[in-house]
């Protein structure tokens, strides 16, 4: 579904991604694990068209998406839930969700998708007319994910969905991630909570200082002493 080959991305003179390659198959949950500043968010922004790589290849469903504007990439079926939620605080929950569907014209289908979002996140239906900025952190994360789903993505990019949430809410968010995946949406997940990320993933890539240093199934990564020590709290 998504094939990335030898991507190099710079912020000015800083070489942020140094030849990253990975692939994602339809129906998978693939997770990216790495420390802060390793390049995980940079990779998601590059896929979704917010950053332009200097070289390399990005193909989605056998089509190059290199250099395409972000809205064209959304239209092709890739939605991005950014780190820090980035909801529109002065708008209502309803208006935020409507913005998620702004490229769509199929009103009846949009209505059905509201229902799907409410099934996943009943709290959003309760808060329908409330200003988004007054929601709790967990509710804002739900809104950010719901807004992305309103674009009806085939591939969902999730950047740090558990950041700043209480442990109970983290479990809820990860259960919902699995539910979204079970309805047919492929997911690329960036997550600092490596244990939780590996518990839902089909495959994982470990990024350090802009390079993929390891990849494999969660079972393979769980057996790696290097990964246990660095990311899983093991000795």
Q: How many CB atoms lie within 10 A of CB 141?
A: 28
User: What's the CA gap between 228 and 214, in Å, rounded?
Assistant: 13
Predicted local confidence at residue 233, as pLDDT: 65
What pLDDT score was predicted for residue 234? 56
CA 78/CA 65 separation, integer angstroms: 11
Specify the residue for token string 């809410």: 169
> What are the domain boundaries of the chain?
1-77+154-235, 84-152
**Mean of pLDDT over the chain:** 91
Considering only residues 165 and 44, tell me which one the structure prediction assigns the higher pLDDT.
44
| Least confident window among 48-62, 142-156, 216-230 | 216-230
Pick the residue with more confidence: 184 or 85?
184
In order, the DSSP letters of 26-91 are TT-EEEEE--TTSSHHHHHHHHTTSS--SEEEEEETTEE-TT--HHHHHHHTEEEE-TT----TTS
User: Would you state the pLDDT for residue 83?
Assistant: 86
- Which pLDDT tens digit goes with each residue over 129-154? 989 989 988 889 889 999 999 999 99
- What are the tokens at 103? 């490229």
Average pLDDT over residues 216-228: 88
Please state the pTM of the whole predicted model. Answer: 0.90
Q: Are 153 and 79 spatial neighbours (Cβ–Cβ below 8 Å)?
A: yes
Superfamily (CATH H level) for 1-77+154-235? P-loop containing nucleotide triphosphate hydrolases (3.40.50.300)
Residue 15, strand partner residues? 10
Does the pLDDT of residue 235 top 70, yes or no? no
pLDDT tens by residue, 169-215: 888 889 999 999 999 999 999 988 888 999 999 999 999 999 999 99
Residue 231 pLDDT exceeds 50: yes
- Pull the structure tokens for residue 174: 């990860």
At 123 the pLDDT is 87
């Amino acid at each position: 579904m998504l094939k990335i080959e030898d991507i190099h991305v710079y912020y000015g003179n800083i070489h942020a991604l140094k030849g990253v390659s990975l692939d994602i198959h339809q129906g998978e949950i693939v997770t990216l694990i790495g420390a802060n500043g390793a390049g995980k968010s940079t990779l998601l922004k590059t896929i979704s068209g917010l950053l332009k790589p200097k070289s390399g290849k990005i193909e989605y469903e056998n089509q190059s998406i290199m250099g395409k504007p972000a809205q064209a990439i959304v239209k092709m079926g890739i939605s991005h839930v950014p780190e820090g939620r980035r909801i529109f605080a002065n708008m209502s929950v309803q208006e935020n969700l409507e913005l998620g569907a702004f490229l769509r014209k199929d009103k009846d289908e949009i209505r059905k998708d509201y229902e799907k979002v409410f099934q996943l996140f009943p709290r959003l239906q309760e808060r329908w007319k409330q200003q988004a900025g007054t929601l709790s952190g967990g509710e804002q994360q739900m809104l950010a994910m719901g807004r992305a789903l309103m674009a009806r993505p085939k591939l969902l990019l999730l950047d740090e969905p558990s950041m700043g949430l209480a442990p109970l809410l983290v479990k809820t968010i990860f259960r919902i991630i699995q539910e979204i995946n079970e309805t047919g949406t492929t997911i690329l997940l960036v997550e600092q909570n490596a244990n939780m990320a590996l518990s839902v993933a089909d495959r994982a890539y470990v990024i350090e200082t802009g390079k993929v240093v390891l990849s494999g199934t969660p079972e393979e990564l769980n057996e790696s002493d290097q990964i246990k020590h660095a990311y899983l709290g093991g000795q």
